[in-house]
Amino acid sequence: PNIFDNMLEMMEKYANNLEALVDERTDQLIQEKKKTEALLYEMLPPYVAEQLKRGRKVQAESFDCVTIYFSDIVGFTEMSAESTPMQVVHLLNDLYTRFDAIIENFDVYKVETVGDAYMVVSGLPVRNGTTHTREIARMSLALLQEVDTFTIAHRPDHKLKLRIGMHTGPCVAGVVGLKMPRYCLFGDTVNTASRMESNGQPLKIHVSPCTQKLLAEHYPSFVLELRGEVDMKGKGRMYTYWLLGENDSGA
In a 3-state reduction of DSSP, which class is residue 186?
strand
Q: Is the pTM of this model over 0.95?
A: no
For residue 239, the model assigns a pLDDT of: 95
Residue ranges of domains in the chain? 3-43, 61-246
pLDDT tens for each residue of 133-159: 999 999 999 999 999 999 999 998 888
CB 240 within 8 A of CB 207: yes
Q: How many CA atoms lie within 13 A of 208 on its CB side?
A: 28
Instruction: Name which of 4-8, 12-16, 64-68 the model is least confident about.
Output: 4-8
- Class of the CATH domain delimited by 61-246: alpha beta
Q: Give the whole-angstrom CA distance, residue 185 versus residue 139.
A: 20
